Amino acid sequence: MKLLREMVVTDGKVYDNNVLKVDSFLNHQIDATLMLEMAKVFYEYFKDEKITKILTIEASGIAPAIMVANLFKVPMVFAKKSKPSTLKDNAVFTAQVHSYTKNVTNTIVVSEKFINEEDKVLIIDDFLANGQAVLGLMEIVNQARATTVGVGILVEKSFQDGRKLIEDKQVNICSLCRIASLENNEVKFNIADDEK
């Protein structure tokens, strides 16, 4: 998506040759107009899939996911990174997710009430790096005996393993912006995306 690539170049900052900071428009201060435009692309891509639920992980997945859910007219569910005391142990789906940027492992939690075997789930997240967040969400969908019909990502870091690990599970990924390299703290996009 051209607009997102332009924002990454003008407003993004690269750290340590591998982390892209986008907190002025994607995940701290949020550009709502851009979020809606991105949600429309996911809607067009997945609109024939009879999606019944959008699933993401707190916190930065929530903004894009709610926009997408609004277009599909289905509920959005977000996995919590710790279990609220109001949820009973046996009433939740859980998965382990190692956070690449924070270097911690969280047990992510979704109440059993909100995903069931009839659900066709679209997973949305801001970044795809090593794929751990998305794989954890897919594990929760599996526990619910529901189906993951696709994954929508705002920024894919294609030089990490995430895409391959998800494609190995035969799940379709739509990434709005694919980064080939952040070497020398400089953003290089996948050449194949230049015209889109």
Q: Which residues are annotated as a binding site?
A: 20, 27, 129-133, 157
Q: Does 115 bind ligand 5GP (CB under 6 A)?
A: no
Q: Cβ atoms within 10 A of the Cβ of 30, count? A: 17
133 near ligand 5GP (CB under 6 A): yes
* Interactions with ligand 5GP, residue window 134-173 (CB under 6 A): 157, 162
Contact pick of 1, 3, 11, 19 for ligand 5GP (by CB under 6 A)? 19
CA-based radius of gyration for the chain: 16
CA–CA distance, 188 with 182 (Å, rounded to integer):
6
- The count of chain residues that interact with ligand 5GP, using the rule CB under 6 A, is 20
Sole binder of ligand 5GP in the list 7, 22, 54, 122 (CB under 6 A)? 22
- Contact (Cβ atoms closer than 8 angstroms) between residue 148 and residue 172: no
| Interaction of residue 79 with ligand 5GP, rule CB under 6 A | no
Cα dihedral: 176, 179, 182, 185 (round 10): -40
Q: Distance (Å, rounded) from C-alpha 193 to C-alpha 176?
A: 9
Question: Which residue, 92 or 182, is less far from ligand 5GP as judged by CB?
Answer: 182
Which of helix, strand or coil describes residue 92? strand
Give the footprint of ligand 5GP on this chain (CB under 6 A): 19-22, 27, 60, 99-101, 125-133, 157, 162
